[in-house]
Amino acid sequence: MKTSLKMTLGAVLWAAMLLQPSTLLAQGTAFTYQGRLDAAGAPANGSFDLRFAIYDAASGGSLLAGPQTNAAVAVSNGLFTVTLDFDAGVFTGPARWLDIGVRTNGGGAFTALSPRQELRPTPYALYSPTAGGVTNGSVTAGQLRTTNAPAAGQVLAYNGSSLVWTNLPGGGAAGWSLTGNSGTTSGVNFLGTTDSQPLELKVNNARALRLEWASSVTDFSPNVIGGYGQNNVFNGAVGATIAGGGARSTFGNVLRMLPNEVGADYGSIGGGNGNRVTGVGGTVPGGTGNQANGFASFAAGRNARANDDGAFVWNSYSRAATSFTSNRFHVFAQNGFSVDYDVQRQDGGGSHWAGFGISGGQTLSTWTGAYLDDTGDWHSRYVIAYGEGNEQAYIGGDGIGNDVQIGSMNPTVTEVYMWNAASGCHMNLHVATLTINGGCDLAELFEISTERVAPGSVLVIDEAHPGRLKLSTQPYDKRVAGVVSGANGVHPGISLHQAGVNEGGENVALSGRVYVLADADEAPIEPGDLLTTSATPGYAMKATDPARTQGAVLGKAMSGLKAGKGTVLILVTLQ
């Protein structure tokens, strides 16, 4: 039977040899032997004498053939080839060992290499006259000396002691086909590993997907790493995801590595390059140079730094933009931002807008700045903000009057405060012209000593309580101070008070128009008359005594009262 054989030899001193395959002819017993010779730990070069002998034991035993010396064998880079021939009758079936000796070319004693190298059956399977007579294809599987009968799809293999029929690696007949499989069972049939070693999928011999088993003391969840081969999960993170991206790029003459990296449990990167997550549950959807370093943080765009827990950072600038507090939405946009829903833009009437936008000075159609449009007419455009209650504060305009409005969408809200929430103080208001539509007089809050006063009542200074006023009770009283605002629906246009000084009391008109309670029993009142205090508590009357009028004048009548008691419109001008 013709055959080829290959055998490995090892030596503890300085040589290792390999049996090289060789075709053996029927009439010969010689075979080619190839080996590797090392000298002082490095491949040998030069000429060496090699001696070979056959024994029937690994040590001691009987010499069966040889020794045979091959002189001046050329060795190049440690490799050599010799032809050995120990004649017939040596390889009869029992185990045989090859004893090898070596010396430098030119004489001296041979150095024996230890241990002897066992020659297994394959090396001396020479041509057999009997086997040579077997017709091709006449040997069946049942005639082979195996421990079992083969099943469909199995192949013949050696298990170390005998020949056995076995399945092909990867499942044999149940292996995965390049053209697809059918009849598989999820959980039973799978692609992957059964140990904790990573699994990689390559394309063009470069890694495109890496699956890593990852676990901690409390959690276990695999890491999925797609994209660039240098994308990386570090710090022992579990449950991390890098969907793709990452890059190696050239900038000028500089080679840059821009991998995506996750170093915290359950961090995720969707793509892009040069992105990094070090906060647990942090997310970078893509972009470039972004970092989600806070717990459950989010960084997008380019060079965004979400360093605080729960922070959302989106950046469009080339420079880095960093979160400055936790649980806040940060947007750094060069041209502003807008959020629109079913937006309809039309310069004429009939269409409306719906949405919210902050344009940062960029013009959108015919409107700029911030806008929020409701579902009413096209000219109804507001920015509405809800406070802790239901104030529904807004700033905007209705498209009528060429003005900007500040107010509330809640009809029950009637006051606007200029308030600094950080300092807890009211703020200064600077205007060119102030137009007041809700009142006619300038009033100031005063505490009143009298228990009950009605709107329109005349008040005088309470000399017993500095800073307080009381109801007037005598005519021509030089302590006259003003009129309680609010009679007949005429309210103060301006109401003055200072926090911590005059917080309560009544609005007392010090200037402007106001209705006053008047008594015309002493003399009828006509427009233009000077009014002063009267003997009727809280009532004004016509000043008819010039000698007593100086310093007791309340103001000038703007309407008349012929007789009795009533109200008169007065222009408050204390003098």
Handedness of CA 338, 342, 346, 351 (dihedral sign): negative
pLDDT score for 168: 66
Taking the chain (575 residues) in runs of 10, the rounded mean pLDDT of each run is 31 38 54 81 88 92 90 88 86 86 84 83 51 69 78 81 76 67 86 92 96 90 96 96 93 88 98 97 98 98 98 95 94 76 44 46 40 38 60 71 78 85 86 76 85 92 93 96 92 76 80 94 96 96 95 95 96 91
Q: d(Cα 439, Cα 288) in Å, to the nearest integer?
A: 59
For residue 349, the model assigns a pLDDT of 46
As a whole number of angstroms, the distance between CA 449 and CA 431 comes to 37
pTM of the model: 0.43
pLDDT at 224: 98
Mark 80-93 as b/e (b = at least 16 C-beta within 10 Å): bebebebeeebbee
Query: Is the bond preceding 546 in cis, omega lying within 30 degrees of 0?
Result: no
Q: List all residues 6 or more positions away from 283 whose beta carbon is below 8 Å from its beta carbon.
A: 267, 268, 269, 270, 277, 292, 297, 298, 299
- CATH assignment, 441-572: 2.40.300.10
**CA 301 to the chain's CA centroid:** 11
Q: How far, in Å, CA of 164 to CA of 146, rounded? A: 5
CATH classification of 7-124, choosing from 3.40.190, 1.10.3470, 3.10.20, 2.60.40?
2.60.40
In which residue are the tokens 């029992």 written?
94
What is the gyration radius of the CA atoms in the chain, in angstroms? 53
| Domain 7-124 shares a fold with domain 441-572 | no
SS (H, E, C) 412-477: CCCCCCCEECCCCEECCCCCCCCCCCCCCEEEEEECECCCCCCCCCEEEECCCCCCCEEECCCCCC
Give pLDDT, residue 375: 35
- Terminal-to-terminal C-alpha distance of the chain: 142
Q: What is the pLDDT of residue 369?
A: 37
The helix or strand, by DSSP H or E, that contains position 549, with its residue range, turns out to be helix 546-549
Neighbours of 384 (CB within 10 A): 15
Q: In what order do the strands lie in the sheet with 241-242?
A: 199-203, 206-212, 223-226, 241-242, 268-269, 283-284, 298-301, 312-315, 329-332
Annotated domain spans of the chain: 7-124, 199-332, 441-572
pLDDT value, residue 54: 92
d(CA 504, CA 483): 16
**Residue type at position 15:** A
At residue 187, the pLDDT reads 86
Question: What is the spatial distance between Cα 283 and Cα 277, in angstroms, rounded to a whole number?
Answer: 7
How long is the chain?
A: 575
